Amino acid sequence: MKILVPIKRVVDYNVKVRPKGDGSDVDLANVKMSMNPFCEIAVEEAVRLKEAGKATEIVVVSIGPAKAQEQIRAAMAIGADRGILVQTDENLEPLAIAKCLKAIYEKESPELVILGKQSIDGDNNQTGQMFAALAGLPQGTFASKVEVTDAGVNVTREIDGGLQTVALKLPAVVTTDLRLNEPRYASLPNIMKAKKKPMDTMSLEDLGVDATPRVKLLSVAPPPERKGGIKVASVEELVEKLKNEAKVVS
């Protein structure tokens, strides 16, 4: 079984993001970039399936600038076999990314596609669902457990009411949640081996994808600072302030 794992290059989760001085976008100058944490979980799950004898090849794909090769190599160091970079400097929207993934899916014909449920920059939580719809594939989102069987794949997913298990026929799409696994650290020997693993580079034109944006970014600004809290001497004073100052009760 071949597994396709889309990954995304994002600002490292430890970095405090700041807007540019003119408010036109996020300031990425000299900012540490890393693989999206949910994507790391997806790579780890694919590697575990391969180690369990359920998969024979893991292909990672990233859509972004040339520097996204760093994140592809990082995925290879964890255990992916080869990589694909769709190189573009455009800030693609989820629909355009989903169209790219559909084109790559048709070229690679994997039995299983595992990707993070969302990225920590856009937080859209749309790409996996859009890709599954475009490709006409069954999907199991927000996965906290993935079990490959002879009949397909069983995905335990987190929903508002608790847990739900869906049985999907292959090929299928799975999006990963935080509780699915704990990604491993790449060892130094594997990091060195990853440098020699094959990586293909292509463009949006090669895939025949129209990435025309449908959303216009007007401005980026930090959230307003919260005011400090106060202590009240009594319940009566609390009610009075909620009614007359905060105006949240009548």
Q: What's the confidence (pLDDT) of residue 226?
A: 84
Q: What are phi and psi of 116, to 5 degrees?
A: -65, 150
Domain ranges of the chain: 2-244
Residue ranges in the chain modelled with pLDDT below 50: none
Res 123: pLDDT: 92
* pLDDT at residue 65 in the model: 95
What would the DSSP string read from start to end of 1-62?
-EEEEEE-EEE-TTS---B-TTSSSB--TT--EEE-HHHHHHHHHHHHHHHTTS-SEEEEEE
Cβ atoms 232, 244 nearer than 8 A: no
Give the right CATH number for 2-244 from 3.40.50.620, 3.40.50.2000, 3.80.10.10, 3.40.710.10. 3.40.50.620
State the pLDDT at residue 139: 97
Calculated CA dihedral for residues 37, 92, 157, 73, nearest 10 degrees: -40
Q: How far apart are CA 183 and CA 39, in angstroms?
A: 10
**pLDDT value, residue 41:** 97
Q: Is the peptide bond before 37 cis (omega within 30 degrees of 0)?
A: no
Dihedral sign, Cα of residue 236, residue 242, residue 248, residue 250: positive
**pTM of this structure:** 0.88
